[in-house]
Amino acid sequence: MGAAEERTDSPKLDWETGEGKSYVIPALEIGGFLTGLNQINRHFIDSKEYGSDGHSIWRNLREPLVVDRDPFRINQLGHPYQGNIYFGFARSAGLDFWRSLAYSLGGSLLWETAGETTPPSLNDHINTAIGGAFIGEAAFRMASLLLEGGGGKPGFWRELGAAVISPPMG
């Protein structure tokens, strides 16, 4: 192998064949994102609500779902945006819409169970998973168009624009 040849040990992502897609990478990204979000919320927002531990997780696994009465901006804007992040992690790893929707739901289940001490909420799961998929698919497609449009390798500004549109694509 010559010095000028590029190593290609791992397959590159191919949207047509699905080669190179990963189920592990988005799971790790979602776990890392939720851990970081929990720590920021715990230390800077509300240590009681976000101070989850083994006891609160176990309680959240056993108790029935509730319907919370969070403000509109939380339930109808914040939860779908957070679900968009989970969805985007899966889409950018090469997964299709339906598998990415499953990651959005999984991220919601993980956050509602282990990220907060309050009981898991049915409306939060719906808003995060379904709303996240709606926003996430549109953001993913717009960012993809920006990256793939114009031919050739995207420059700094196209990559920055794609990251603004869909942060997981960045």
DSSP structure string for 23-73: SHHHHHHHHHHHHHHHHHHHHHT-HHHH---HHHHHHHHHSPPB-----HI
C-beta of residue 162 within 8 angstroms of C-beta of residue 91: no
Structure tokens at 17: 């064949």
pLDDT in tens, the chain (170 residues): 454 555 556 667 776 677 889 999 999 999 999 999 999 999 999 999 999 999 999 999 999 999 999 999 999 999 999 999 999 999 999 999 999 999 999 999 999 999 999 999 999 999 999 999 999 999 999 999 999 887 788 889 999 999 999 999 87
Task: Quote helix, strand, coil % in the chain, to nearest 5.
Answer: 65, 0, 30
pTM over 0.75: yes
